[in-house]
């Protein structure tokens, strides 16, 4: 997934947003649909698949391991499952691009294979910590080698069968949880995990959809090895993490009334809605439904004067990808917003505490990074623009680039957002969709 053009976003203020939109499919669910479809017996049909680079990396990795996959065409994908023991060694390293989800979840599956594999990533992924998956997989008997400090590339020497373990996750991470559960499919008994806080449960839900029993009891999640996955159909909801940009955009824009359709409402993902409501946002949910075990709803967002809050820590893992844009909400609120307990933000596609604080400060906003969060004194309450534009370095992080596009709604001048090509990892078509709702943003090839 290289050969990118270098892209800058040029974004400026807008005073009105309106319309109806459907943001692309959920990234987490799209990854998992390929992984589970690949090791299932039979043919899995997926619709609403996210055609972003991260999910395409997962797709290509399974193709490299001998799985036939058709698509994506208009979000439709067909995965011809090879069964639990049907993956084949790839002739080249599996390229996870920018995607931590690909690397961490696939390493769990590879740990249970009787062949060796190598997982590589781009510059951003190559800096991210993998010890968190190496530790439990080593306890299960796999041999994983990484560069110093547990950084990619990862060389995985699988073992069959793996040893079933109980693992207390040291951090609230759905990726680590999912890695252990997927490895647990290849273990000789019951593998279980406990998590320090509830994290997204798409793996558990989707495994159930493939006919695998995953039990969640008193905070412990367990899976018995050797269970066969039966192919199914998957309808991927719109990604609430992508919808989040427009939830904040419409909230801070002077005259906004927009509706986002078919947004995933899995309760382990809706922290953004809870936090924005605590800040005084005007959000209305309707058309509730359940698609393939995942709740969805339409979300109507109208302008609101947000207020600063102390963000409740239990909501942090439920909104973990939304903090870059929530910092923009806080910058536009009246009063102080304080985030704590979010040190995980430092090991995402970039150090999201440092990079966001730097960008907000460059716009003249009073933002102070802390070890595990941020303190922001918002400038809301004034009509018109509220701060100035700046040149932003998105540091290989799609969510930073989109967050400053939203920040531009209330900025004087033009926000120049560098490195915006990474937006394609999670939100292809972002500029077109944002423009259709009224944002002033252009994508410029450099």
Residue numbers 288-317 binding ligand S3P by CB under 6 A: none
Helix (H) or strand (E) holding 111: helix 100-111
Residue placing its CB nearer to ligand S3P in the complex, 8 or 397: 397
- Asked if 321 touches ligand S3P (CB under 6 A), the answer is yes
* Residue 139 beta carbon to ligand S3P: minimum distance, rounded to whole angstroms: 19
344 in contact with ligand S3P (CB under 6 A): yes
Beta carbon of residue 413, minimum distance to ligand S3P (angstroms, whole number):
31
Question: Which residues, 6+ apart, have CB-to-CB distance to 179 below 8 Å?
Answer: 104, 105, 107, 108, 133, 136, 137
β-pairing, 76-82 vs 68-73, is: antiparallel
**For ligand S3P, the closer CB: 41 or 135:** 135
Gap between the Cα atoms of 191 and 85, Å rounded: 18
Catalytic residue among 64, 321, 397, 424: 321
Q: How many CB atoms lie within 10 A of CB 255?
A: 13
Site membership for ligand S3P, residue 178 (CB under 6 A): yes
Given the rule CB under 6 A, which of 136-144, 157-165, 167-175, 187-195 is the region that contacts ligand S3P?
167-175
Span between the terminal Cα atoms of the chain, in Å: 19
Whether 276 contacts 329, CB under 8 Å:
yes
Of residues 34, 51, 31, the one with CA closest to residue 429: 51
Q: Which residues pair with 207 in a beta bridge?
A: none
Among 61, 84, 140, 174, binds ligand S3P (CB under 6 A): 174
| Closest CB 312 distance from ligand S3P, rounded Å | 18
CA–CA distance from 345 to each of 16, 48, 79, 136, 342 (Å)? 31, 28, 33, 22, 6
Interface segment toward ligand S3P; rule CB under 6 A; list 71-79, 174-182, 266-274, 406-414: 174-182
Count residues binding ligand S3P (CB under 6 A).
11
Q: Which residues contact 303 (CB under 8 A, 6 or more apart)?
A: 250, 251, 252, 253, 254, 255, 256, 257, 282
Q: Is 26 in the site for ligand S3P (CB under 6 A)?
A: no
> By C-beta, is 101 or 394 nearer to ligand S3P?
101
Cβ distance to ligand S3P smaller for residue 8 or 321: 321
One DSSP character per residue, 286-340 reads EEEEEETTEEEEEEEEE----B--BPPGGGSGGGGGGHHHHHHHHHTSEEEEEE-
Q: Residue 176 CB, nearest distance to ligand S3P (Å)?
A: 6
CA distances from 370 to 285, 312, 319, 374 (A): 34, 16, 18, 5
Which of 47, 200, 262, 352 is the binder for ligand S3P (CB under 6 A)? Answer: 200
Q: For the CB of residue 221, give the shortest distance to ligand S3P in the complex, in Å.
A: 13
321 given a catalytic annotation: yes
When the beta carbons of 200 and 416 are compared against ligand S3P, the nearer one is: 200
How far apart are CB 18 and ligand S3P at their closest, in Å?
30
Rounded alpha-carbon distances, angstroms, from residue 369 to 272, 356, 384: 20, 9, 27
Q: In the complex, what is the shortest distance from the CB of residue 399 to ligand S3P, in angstroms, rounded to a whole number?
A: 9
Applying CB under 6 A, which of residues 14, 124, 175, 242 lies at the interface with ligand S3P? 175
- State the nearest-atom distance from the C-beta of 240 to ligand S3P, in Å: 12
Structure tokens at 289: 């439904």
Is 353 or 363 the residue whose CB approaches ligand S3P more closely? 353
Burial of 63-97, coded b for 16+ CB within 10 Å and e otherwise, reads ebbebebebbeebebebbbbebeebeebeebbbbb
Q: Which is nearer to ligand S3P, 25 or 380 (CB)?
A: 25
CB of 264 to ligand S3P, least distance (A): 12
**Residue 392: beta bridge partners?**
417
Query: What's the angle, vertex CA 323, arms to CA 406 and CA 25, rounded to 5?
Result: 75
Q: Which is nearer to ligand S3P, 204 or 344 (CB)?
A: 344
Query: Taking CB under 6 A as the rule, does residue 173 contact ligand S3P?
Result: yes
Considering the rule CB under 6 A, would residue 320 count as an interface residue with ligand S3P? Answer: yes
Determine if 101 is a binding residue for ligand S3P (CB under 6 A). yes
Taking CB under 6 A as the rule, does residue 54 contact ligand S3P? no
CA distance 209 to 74: 23
Contact window for ligand S3P (CB under 6 A) among 139-147, 172-180, 296-304, 328-336: 172-180
Q: Return the number of the residue (56 or 437) whose C-beta is nearest ligand S3P.
A: 56
Per-position DSSP letters for 334-372, written without gaps between them? EEEEEE-S-GGGGGSSS-HHHHHHHHHHHTT-EEEEETT
* Residue with the CB atom nearest ligand S3P in the bound state: 28
- Catalytic center residues: 321
Binding residues for ligand S3P, rule: CB under 6 A, are: 28, 101, 173-175, 178, 199-200, 320-321, 344
């Amino acid at each position: 997934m290289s050969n990118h053009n270098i892209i800058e976003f040029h974004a400026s203020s807008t005073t009105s947003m309106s319309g109806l939109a459907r943001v692309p499919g959920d990234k987490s669910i799209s990854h998992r649909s390929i992984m589970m479809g690949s090791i299932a017996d039979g043919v899995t049909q997926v619709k609403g698949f996210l055609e972003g680079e991260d999910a395409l990396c997962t797709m290509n990795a399974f193709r490299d391991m001998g799985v036939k996959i058709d698509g994506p065409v208009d979000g439709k994908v067909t995965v011809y499952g090879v069964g639990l023991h049907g993956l084949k060694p790839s002739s080249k390293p599996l390229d996870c691009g920018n995607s931590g989800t690909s690397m961490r979840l696939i390493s769990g599956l590879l740990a249970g294979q009787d062949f060796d594999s190598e997982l590589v990533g781009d510059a951003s992924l190559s800096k991210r910590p993998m010890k968190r998956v190496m530790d439990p997989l080593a306890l299960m008997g796999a041999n994983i080698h990484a560069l110093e400090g547990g950084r990619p590339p990862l060389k995985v020497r699988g073992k069959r069968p793996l040893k079933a373990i109980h693992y207390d996750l040291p951090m609230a991470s759905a990726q680590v949880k999912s890695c252990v559960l997927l490895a647990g499919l290849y273990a000789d008994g019951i593998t279980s995990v406990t998590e320090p806080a509830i994290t997204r449960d798409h793996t558990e839900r989707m495994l159930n959809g493939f006919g695998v029993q995953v039990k969640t009891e008193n905070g412990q999640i367990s899976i018995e090895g050797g269970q066969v996955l039966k192919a199914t159909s998957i309808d991927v909801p719109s990604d609430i993490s992508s919808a989040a940009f427009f939830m904040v955009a419409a909230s801070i824009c002077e005259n906004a009334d927009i509706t986002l359709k078919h947004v995933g409402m899995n309760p382990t993902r809706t922290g953004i809605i809870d936090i924005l409501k605590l800040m005084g946002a005007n959000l209305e949910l309707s058309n509730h439904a359940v698609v393939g075990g995942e709740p969805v709803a339409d979300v109507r967002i109208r302008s609101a004067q947000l207020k600063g809050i102390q963000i409740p820590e239990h909501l942090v893992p439920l909104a973990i990808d939304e903090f870059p844009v929530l910092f923009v909400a806080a910058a536009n609120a009246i009063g102080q917003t304080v985030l704590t307990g979010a040190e995980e933000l430092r090991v995402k596609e970039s150090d999201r505490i440092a990079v966001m604080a730097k960008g907000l400060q460059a716009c003249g906003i009073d933002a102070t990074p802390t070890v595990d969060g941020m303190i922001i004194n918002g400038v809301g309450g004034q009509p018109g623009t509220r701060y100035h534009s700046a040149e932003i370095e998105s540091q290989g992080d799609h969510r930073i680039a989109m967050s400053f596009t939203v920040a531009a709604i209330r900025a004087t001048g033009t926000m120049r957002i560098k490195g915006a090509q990474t937006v394609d990892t999670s939100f292809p078509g972002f500029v077109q969709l944002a423009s259709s709702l009224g944002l002033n943003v252009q994508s410029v090839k450099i």
